[in-house]
Structure 1
Amino acid sequence: MADNDILDTSDGDAPDGDASQAPQSRPQSLMLAFFGNHVLEEGDLCVYSGSIIDVLGRVGVGEQAVRSTLTRMVNRGLLRRQREGRRMYFGLTPHATRILHDGRTRIWRQGAVNDDWNGSWTLLGFSLPDSWKRQRHDLRSRLAWSGFGALYSGLWIAPGDVDVSAVVDELGLADHVKIFHARADQATDIELMIRDTWDLESIAARYVTFDKRWTAHLGAGSGEDPIGTRLRLVSEWLWTIRTDPRLPARHLPPAWPARAAQETFRQVAEQTEAPALRGARELLETAPPR
């Protein structure tokens, strides 16, 4: 399974195929947001299943859905079980830890606005046998998460110097892929290339939707549960940014909505961080790994 699929927060397509409408977050995505928010930075801890059921219940995920999601994630190598007496605890695997660190970098460090582009592009060309449908899907998924778009069918491009060698090696495709770092010639219309390669309207619509939804939350007061609010916030933000390659701001339409949406995200994140962490530490039953 590609990391981009694991980090896909959607529970299916949006109503009427409208990509701007954030769909209901999948239990697995909320589960990953939970571990990313409350376990990743706390060290190598295992969390009691009853605590997880309590927390995800705050965002509308029922007990049976939580239990089946935990089992599925164990089978996928994302979580590990640990029994303590009659209780079952769950912790992150190294694979899930890497995915969450990758997501954390994308969410909290890189940001959605690329103001410091140096003019370079990363080009990746590949040629795979027709029968390699799964490998092609995995490669395209990982490239999309890494900021690439299809310039042509077998030639993908991303802004900046992107190191995807580890992705290619992990997929076992090094013999079928060529990677270059280059700059566009003056004859190339970069803004036209961007419009032809990425669906800017869809990306912008996601940011507008997110900003509208969470700006309203900012003015709603502090009556909501901060743990649940923060889980929904991170999950929806990940859904919003997952198709955005962080294109250079200078080549995007005026008033590109990512800037306002990112500011809203950071305000709600700051507003909920301390009370969510405090509440989680009081609520969660944890155990050291064995």
Structure 2
Amino acid sequence: MLTFLGDQVLGRDVCVYSGSVIDVFARVGVGEQATRSTLTRMVNRGLLRRQREGRRMYFGLTEHSEAVLRDGERRIWQTGAVNRHWDGTWTLLGFSLPESWQRQRHDLRSKLTWSGFGPLFSGLWIAPGEVDVADLVGELGLSAHVKVFRAHADAGMDIGAMIEETWELPELADRYESFVRRWQPWETRAPQADEALAQRLLLQAEWLRVIRRDPRLPVKHLPDDWPAEQAEKTFRGVHERLTPLAREAARRAIEVVAVNE
């Protein structure tokens, strides 16, 4: 849902008619009730705003969801899936929580994984590059229990082996390979405009799910046949092919109104 709304309204100061959302999601196999429930949940979580115009309901972005989508844009179009310019810096994060803080420990580990960290040891996590974790730690209220350092590996350190021990490389590679198998045929297909709108939504959502679970490990320390580069090439090629037709279909199918301040 965020992918769809980001594509249609991010940076435009408009809201989308709920009927248009339902129509587009029906094209990718999502039923009306599921779509309505998702819209309601996202409003309740502060990710969407509602705007009534007569008897019709429209949905737009909030500050929170705009920030999430801007981060997604950076991941897709700026940082990309392949880390070729790593400068040798690592971010180390150590934490020590009371044994009874099971929920806090789970939440911290989940957010660290989302931010590209892997468990070097049980209470010591590591991520490539300089990762700013101040907001993450502050949001959980754990600042007093966390220590963060920037570091470089010793000259004798086998970084490739450390990466294999810390991150699930086969699982990550499989996600990229599955993406290529799923989307490579679309590099040569000639879809209709309505089909292109639905497929472009699926393409963007699936690609974002793949790269957001990628810690962007330095490519020079990954296997020679690492599939991220091919997957990114496939994404960009299919995206370029679908976009003109998808935009044409969106103009016909999606009704928007200006945001009421």
TM-score (ref. length: structure 2) = 0.94
Distance in 2, Cα, partners of 1:93 & 1:132: 32
Aligned to 1:279: 249
Aligned to 1:256: 226
Contact 2:17 2:57 in 1 (8 A): yes
Identity %: 60
1:91 Cα shift? 1.1
Aligned to 2:101: 132
Structure 1 runs (4+) greater than 6 angstroms displaced: none
Aligned to 1:4: none
Partner of 2:93: helix, strand, or coil?
Answer: strand
1:242 Cα shift? 2.6
1:67 Cα shift? 0.7
Distance in 1, Cα, partners of 2:248 & 2:136: 37
Aligned with 1:67 (options 36, 39, 57): 36
Residues 236-247 of structure 1 aligned to structure 2 (within 5 Å): 236-247=206-217
Contact 1:81 1:88 in 2 (8 A): yes
Contact 1:124 1:155 in 2 (8 A): yes
Aligned residues: CA RMSD: 1.4
Aligned to 2:205: 235
Q: Which deviations, in whole Å up to 9, do the C-alpha atoms of 1:96-127 show, x marking residues without a partner?
A: 11111112211221111011110110001112
Amino acid at match of 1:162: V
Amino acid at match of 1:242: R
TM-score (ref. length: structure 1) = 0.85
Name whichever of 210-219 and 135-144 sits farther off.
Answer: 135-144
Distance in 2, Cα, partners of 1:272 & 1:132: 48
Contact 1:38 1:277 in 2 (8 A): no
1:137 Cα shift? 2.5
Distance in 1, Cα, partners of 2:242 & 2:152: 42
Distance in 1, Cα, partners of 2:249 & 2:188: 22
Q: Which deviations, in whole Å up to 9, do the C-alpha atoms of 1:207-263 show, x marking residues without a partner?
A: 111111111122232246111111110111122223211110100001210010100
Q: Which deviations, in whole Å up to 9, do the C-alpha atoms of 1:262-285 show, x marking residues without a partner?
A: 000010111122222232233221
Gaps of at least 5 residues in structure 2 are: none
Distance in 1, Cα, partners of 2:152 & 2:137: 22
Matched, 1:120 2:89: yes
Count of paired positions: 259
Contact 2:192 2:245 in 1 (8 A): no
Partner of 1:181: helix, strand, or coil?
Answer: strand
Residues 160-199 of structure 1 aligned to structure 2 (within 5 Å): 160-199=129-168
